[in-house]
C-alpha cells in the first residue's frame, strides 16, 4: 500500500469517551484503525469499573502510539463532556471527531465527517431514523431537541437538525479556542458536548450535516441514558 494511503488520516484524532464499555472498545478501535490508515485515537475513560481500562491498555500497547489512553479514574470531576474536553486539549491533529464507544455510530460515516471538515468548521452526524427506540424515548428526545433548537435560534446561535448528537467533527483549533476561552461555560457532568459548543459559538460557523439511519440498539453493555441526563441537556440549553 502506498505511503500516502497509510498516512491519509494522520491529521485526524477520534475521541472516544468511555464508561464501562469493555465489550465494545477493542472492536471499535480495530474497525477505526483498519478503515482509516494513520488515524489517531484517544480513549478518554471516565472511571470504568468493568475492565474497560485493562482492555484499553491492551489496545494502546498494540497500536504503536496511534492510540492513547486518558485515564480519568482519579479526576475530581466526571462526565462525558469533561472527558471529551480533556482529550481535545491534548489533541495535536488538525481535525477531531467525537463518537461513542457503544458501536451505535456508524464507523463508515467517519470518512464523510472527516472530508466535510475540509470546507466546514463543524460536521455533525444527524440521526435520520431511530425507529429502534421506544415511543417514550423518541418523544422525549424530539421534545428536548426542539426546545434546544428553538432557544438557540432565538439567541442567534448556530443550530442543527439533531442538537443532541454525540457524533460530530470539528476543526481542532476552533474547538480548543472555544474551550480555553469559555471553559467554565461547559456543563462538565453533561453528556452533550456538541450542544455546549454550539451555545458558545456564533452563527458564522460553517456547519455540514451528515445524515445516517443506522443508529441502533447497542449489542453489548448498558445504555447510560437517564432522566438526569435529559435535565442536564436543558441545563446546557438555558445556561
The three-state secondary structure class of 194 is: helix
> What average pLDDT does the structure give for the chain?
87
In the chain, the domains with their CATH numbers are 3-238 (3.90.550.10)
The pLDDT value recorded for residue 195 is 94
Q: Which residues of 170-185 are buried (b: 16+ CB within 10 A; e: fewer)?
A: bbbeebbebbeeeeee
- Across 61-172, the runs of DSSP E, i.e. the strands, are 67-71, 95-98, 122-127, 168-171
Element (H, E) at 238: helix 227-238
**69 has a pLDDT exceeding 80:** yes
Q: In whole angstroms, what is the distance from residue 172 CA to residue 122 CA?
A: 10
pLDDT band for position 77 (cuts 50, 70, 90):
confident
pTM score, whole prediction: 0.89
Greater confidence (239 vs 226) lies with 239
The pLDDT value recorded for residue 39 is 97
Q: In whole angstroms, what is the distance from residue 170 CA to residue 176 CA?
A: 10
Amino acid at each position: 500500500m502506498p505511503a500516502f494511503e497509510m498516512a491519509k488520516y494522520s491529521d485526524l484524532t477520534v475521541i472516544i469517551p468511555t464508561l464501562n464499555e469493555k465489550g465494545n472498545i477493542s472492536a471499535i478501535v480495530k474497525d477505526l484503525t483498519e478503515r482509516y490508515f494513520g488515524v489517531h485515537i484517544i480513549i478518554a475513560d471516565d472511571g470504568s469499573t468493568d475492565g474497560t481500562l485493562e482492555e484499553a491498555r491492551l489496545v494502546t500497547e498494540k497500536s504503536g502510539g496511534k492510540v492513547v489512553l486518558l485515564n480519568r479514574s482519579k479526576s475530581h470531576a466526571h462526565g462525558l463532556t469533561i472527558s471529551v474536553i480533556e482529550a481535545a486539549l491534548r489533541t495535536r491533529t488538525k481535525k477531531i471527531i467525537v463518537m461513542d464507544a457503544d458501536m451505535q455510530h456508524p464507523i463508515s460515516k467517519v470518512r464523510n465527517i472527516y472530508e466535510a471538515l475540509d470546507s466546514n468548521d463543524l460536521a455533525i452526524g444527524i440521526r435520520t431514523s431511530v425507529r429502534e427506540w421506544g415511543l417514550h424515548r423518541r418523544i422525549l428526545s424530539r421534545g428536548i431537541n426542539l426546545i434546544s433548537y428553538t432557544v438557540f435560534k432565538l439567541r442567534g446561535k448556530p443550530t442543527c437538525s439533531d442538537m443532541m448528537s454525540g457524533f460530530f467533527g470539528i476543526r481542532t483549533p476552533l474547538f480548543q479556542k472555544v474551550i480555553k476561552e469559555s471553559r467554565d461555560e461547559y456543563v462538565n457532568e453533561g453528556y452533550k458536548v456538541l450542544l455546549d459548543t454550539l451555545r458558545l459559538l456564533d452563527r458564522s460557523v460553517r456547519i455540514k450535516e451528515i445524515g445516517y439511519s443506522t443508529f441502533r440498539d447497542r449489542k453489548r453493555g448498558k445504555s447510560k441514558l437517564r432522566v438526569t441526563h435529559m435535565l442536564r441537556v436543558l441545563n446546557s440549553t438555558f445556561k
